[in-house]
Chains A and B, each alone.
Chain A
Amino acid sequence: MEGSLFFWHTNSDSLADFKIGLNLAQASDATSLMVLACNQNDYPTQDLNILLKTCLLPIFGGIYPMISHQDTLMKQGALIIGFQETYNISTFSNLHQLKDEDALENYINSQLEEKLNFHSDNFLMFFDGLMNNVEDFIDCLFECLDHGITIAGGGAGHVDFVQRPCIFTNQGLRSNVVLLVTLPSKLTTSVAHGWKIFQGPFLASEVEEQTVLSLNYEPAFDLYSQAIESTSNYKFTEGNFFDIAKRYPLGIEDINSNLIIREIIVSQYGYLQCAGKIPINSMIYLLEGDIDSLIETTEQTAIDLFSKTTAESAQISMIFDCIGRVLYMEDDFARELHVINKHRTSSALFGVLSIGEIANSKSGAIRLLNKTTVISTW
């Protein structure tokens, strides 16, 4: 137990152990439960669904590639956090079926209206990270919700990028779902990535949603591979694309020279497939990073964030850190967790390694981020 929270974690990958934790949580003073689990766990879906459906308390959370507790990275196991306050959950289901903006907008409005007296400015968002229209959803959500909300979130899913049910709800484990969780206290967030411009700018001359077809009117992969191969020792061969690409993400520059990172997942037919949309005609940079500078940026961000809060004003801290950063930093990722944990003022710190992160931009809009760390505290 940490503070007034119920806190339980296990490194076991068995559902039987998870069940013990869930029973303890239900027997505690908690009124809402956040459940975070690793995708390596051996949880038979049917049995897990029975546990979720029979759970007496509202549940939210998801199955993530990895999770973290304080400065420990957990590749298997689970965390259950019980809150004494009621965390209101709005569930947005079957989003893959909503093909256009109007349908999304109508659906979001109807779901929000269902919650009587729905008014909050502070949200956590748990979503299926492999859902194909998550950016359309957050655009519409921002338009519908209100001006001036604060939000943090991360995409759940499996690290093999095959879509499976991954969001915990009281109706069972679900896919193509977004959970919007209202927080009872003020949420403060801070965003860090640490990636630096390596080459560019390039004009995203042909783009289809998340796929960059051409940069500066040249096939995207040709330009990307030439830029890397000509200035490094890396050579792209069949089968090593992601090993190199995880070191060189793309950056979209906004009008204030901020970079939004886009991880390149695969290359096919000379195109680059990213983990988020790239606006056509936008300015794209090739980015590089070194582990030290990435961690330094994270540390600075943690210092900035925790200097604004106290143990009283924010008891809980949660990290939404990109799985891509773990894949890039490998064992050094423990240092990133360590620097965050070192500066925390809250009693609890935990997090997820996510497929896509959610945070507000400086303008207030909600953005989908890649290869980024979002530290939140409330």
Chain B
Amino acid sequence: MNKALFIISLQHELAMAIGNKLDLKAMLKVFLKVCFNRLNLTSTHIYIHCDENNIPTKLTPLETNNYQHLLSIPKKKQGKSWVENSALSHFTAQLINAQENISKQCENGRYFFGFIIPDHGLLIFETHYAIDIEVQKALLPILQKLSTSCYTSLVHDSLVKEVYSRQLVEEKVAFQAQHDGLTGLVNRQHLNVLLAEAIEEAHFNKKFGCVVFIDLNRFKPINDSMGHTVGDQILLILANRLQSLSGENIDVARFGGDEFVLLIRNLNHNYQEVVTEIISDINQLLAIPFVIKANSYKLSCSIGYVFFPLQSSTVNNIIKFADIAMYEAKRNKSRLGKQYHSSMSDKIKKRLAYVEDMKQGLKNGDFKLFYQPQYNHSGDIIGAEALLRWQHPIHGIESPAVYIPIAEESDLILNIGQWVLEQACADIHKIEQLSLPNTFKNISINVSAKQLIQHDFQDKVMQAIKANNILAEHLGLELTENLLVENIEDSIKLIASFKANAITSSIDDFGTGYSSLTYLKRIPARVLKIDRSFVANIEQSNESVAIASMIISLGKTLHMNVLAEGVETIDEFNCLKMLGCYQYQGYYFNRPLPFEEFIQLFN
């Protein structure tokens, strides 16, 4: 009676131990532990049927047996995995072969009992005694129940996997929505969310925060000349370096292009010191050269920052102010970063008003083209440079040094450039009606960076020539050396294309840029213009003489004419002539003249 009760209680307990967990391994472990304790086992093991990828699966008829060791209690024998135990492996092979419950007495007096878990696996007990046949029989319904539970666990596992993979996809989508695709940094949209939270936190905790806006200097030339792959690599390296600054209180975001933002939270009253230190860290991170495909690039950045809630409590303003401060730092070429100040916004407002004035000026015809004639050494006129003058209704004549950079910051420079092109062509048409000397070559206009990168710039030029019915050779283009360097490959193509259409190009302000001679050789320009800074008092400066001589000999080598700008005195003229420069422009000859006065020169 006691034995019967024992068997019933054993069955009951083993049955209760099945299905307590959903994960297959965890479920089987609970069962195995109860077996181990209640049956006084020396060791116990489970092998489970697996598919060709060794993933547990239900055994189907005609399928080859592939049982993999899953669990053992205890985990090892004499320091080695049970898989390496030859007695167990041998017995398991016998059990697989027999496909029915078997037992075996070992040499050490121990026993192995093997049971089939229908459709799913093998259960093996090692004991120091022989398990009664009644107990063995009592295990059969348990094994059937275990089989059902195995199947349930497998279904559950596959569901868990499916849910997990869906979760991964969802996480990926969520990540992509919040992070930049190239760098993996927080993107602009998510930065706005984080910033909104940080502002609220700062209010709540009575702390401060800071947005640091970082923009790479002169990144575009690298991107344009070396290709986007190199540019992207640089951004990626920089993102990784900046990421090293991130932490509990610092998020790093890519704001767009080569702009990055650091969002700093939880600052105390020493906020200024902390941010100054972080800016120093940023500069140090940038000081390390960016090595890509054996090429080394050196970059710097401009940094603007703003403190919240001190300077603003709205997301848009904080970002805008940091951006404004960054531009201010860029203008001042400051490496220490600039903190936003309301005067910067005032400046911006003034600029905007100024841009409006310019727009109005264009409409009202306040802009005029003046022409500064160019001469050869014999005093013959060879052409002129068209120079823009703006008669401001209130301020009077405005300096191009003031309004051109402002126009260049906005798209207004394109409107101005187009006006200049059209007006110059119209003036050329009038000139063509005069009797021009044989020495006359062309009227040149200055081209801005924004014009040059317009995909239809050449079309626009050709259209203006056609519309005014002038000879293309009478129009020249002046491009600054820096402008060419920023977009060298495209510039070379464009200049060649203009040349093919009889339009010649000059390289303006030569000597101030960083042209590589290799590139210069490939630029099909006709004229090299010596920058006025090397011309001023050239007769008194050995250095200027050396530079001018170098440019002159370079021009000869490259079969380019060399023209000196800003010639103001006879001494400068004589010196240049002596050095072999035979084309000039400057006050010594004429200052820029209104068109009407200019055309008088041909009479």
**Interface positions of A (Cβ within 8 A of B):** 119, 139, 142-148, 201, 203, 253-256, 258, 279-283, 361-365
Beyond A119-B79, A281-B13, 18 additional contacts (C-beta under 8 Å) are A139-B33, A142-B74, A143-B74, A143-B75, A146-B77, A255-B38, A255-B131, A256-B40, A280-B13, A281-B12, A281-B16, A362-B40, A362-B128, A362-B129, A363-B40, A363-B41, A363-B42, A365-B41
On chain A, the residues within 8 Å of B41 by CB distance are 363, 365
The residue in chain B whose Cβ has the minimal distance to the Cβ of A254 is: B40
Whether B39 and A255, one on each chain, are in contact in the complex, defined by CB atoms closer than 8 angstroms, is yes
Selecting from B2-10, B148-156, B191-199, B591-599, the interface stretch reads B2-10
A147 to B37, CA, bound (A): 15
A191 vs chain B, min Cβ distance (A): 14
A201 to B3, CA, bound (A): 10
The residue in chain B whose Cβ has the minimal distance to the Cβ of A366 is: B74
Q: Which 9 residue pairs spanning A and B have beta carbons closest together?
A: A281-B13, A147-B77, A363-B40, A281-B12, A363-B42, A281-B9, A143-B74, A147-B74, A254-B40
A51 to B129, CA, bound (A): 50
A271 vs chain B, min Cβ distance (A): 20
Pick the contact of A148 from B10, B12, B33, B77 — CB < 8 Å? B77
The residue in chain B whose Cβ has the minimal distance to the Cβ of A362 is: B128
B389 vs chain A, min Cβ distance (A): 81
For chain B, the bracket of interface size reads: 20 to 34
A282 to B12, CA, bound (A): 9
A371 vs chain B, min Cβ distance (A): 19
The residue in chain B whose Cβ has the minimal distance to the Cβ of A148 is: B78
A39 vs chain B, min Cβ distance (A): 32
Whether A255 and B6, one on each chain, are in contact in the complex, defined by CB atoms closer than 8 angstroms, is yes
On chain A, the residues within 8 Å of B77 by CB distance are 146-148
**Interface positions of B (Cβ within 8 A of A):** 2, 5-6, 9-10, 12-13, 16, 33-34, 36-43, 73-79, 127-129, 131, 135
Pick the contact of A147 from B12, B16, B33, B76 — CB < 8 Å? B76
Whether B5 and A201, one on each chain, are in contact in the complex, defined by CB atoms closer than 8 angstroms, is yes
Whether A282 and B13, one on each chain, are in contact in the complex, defined by CB atoms closer than 8 angstroms, is yes
B120 vs chain A, min Cβ distance (A): 23
Known: A143-B74, A146-B76. A203 touches B9 (CB 8 A): yes
Whether B42 and A253, one on each chain, are in contact in the complex, defined by CB atoms closer than 8 angstroms, is no
A139 to B36, CA, bound (A): 10
16 residue pairs A–B, Cβ–Cβ below 8 Å = A119-B79, A143-B74, A143-B75, A145-B74, A146-B79, A148-B77, A201-B5, A203-B5, A203-B9, A255-B135, A279-B38, A280-B13, A280-B16, A362-B129, A363-B40, A363-B41
On chain A, the residues within 8 Å of B73 by CB distance are 143
The residue in chain A whose Cβ has the minimal distance to the Cβ of B14 is: A281
Pick the contact of A279 from B37, B78, B128, B129 — CB < 8 Å? B37
On chain B, the residues within 8 Å of A146 by CB distance are 74, 76-79
On chain B, the residues within 8 Å of A282 by CB distance are 9, 13, 38
A365 to B126, CA, bound (A): 12
A182 to B602, CA, bound (A): 112
Whether B74 and A253, one on each chain, are in contact in the complex, defined by CB atoms closer than 8 angstroms, is no
A251 vs chain B, min Cβ distance (A): 13
The residue in chain B whose Cβ has the minimal distance to the Cβ of A284 is: B9
Pick the contact of A363 from B16, B33, B128 — CB < 8 Å? B128
A348 vs chain B, min Cβ distance (A): 30
On chain A, the residues within 8 Å of B74 by CB distance are 142-147
A258 to B40, CA, bound (A): 10
Whether A255 and B78, one on each chain, are in contact in the complex, defined by CB atoms closer than 8 angstroms, is no
Known: A139-B33, A283-B6. A144 touches B13 (CB 8 A): no
The residue in chain A whose Cβ has the minimal distance to the Cβ of B30 is: A101
Of B10, B33, B42, the most chain A CB neighbours within 10 A belong to: B42
B446 vs chain A, min Cβ distance (A): 73
On chain A, the residues within 8 Å of B129 by CB distance are 256, 362
The residue in chain A whose Cβ has the minimal distance to the Cβ of B132 is: A255
Whether A283 and B79, one on each chain, are in contact in the complex, defined by CB atoms closer than 8 angstroms, is no
On chain A, the residues within 8 Å of B9 by CB distance are 203, 281-283
A365 vs chain B, min Cβ distance (A): 7
Whether A253 and B78, one on each chain, are in contact in the complex, defined by CB atoms closer than 8 angstroms, is no
B38 vs chain A, min Cβ distance (A): 7
On chain B, the residues within 8 Å of A253 by CB distance are 6
On chain B, the residues within 8 Å of A256 by CB distance are 40, 129
A345 to B6, CA, bound (A): 41
A258 to B2, CA, bound (A): 14
On chain A, the residues within 8 Å of B37 by CB distance are 279, 365
Known: A255-B6, A363-B128. A144 touches B40 (CB 8 A): no
On chain B, the residues within 8 Å of A258 by CB distance are 40
A203 to B10, CA, bound (A): 10
A245 to B451, CA, bound (A): 102
The residue in chain A whose Cβ has the minimal distance to the Cβ of B135 is: A255
On chain A, the residues within 8 Å of B36 by CB distance are 365
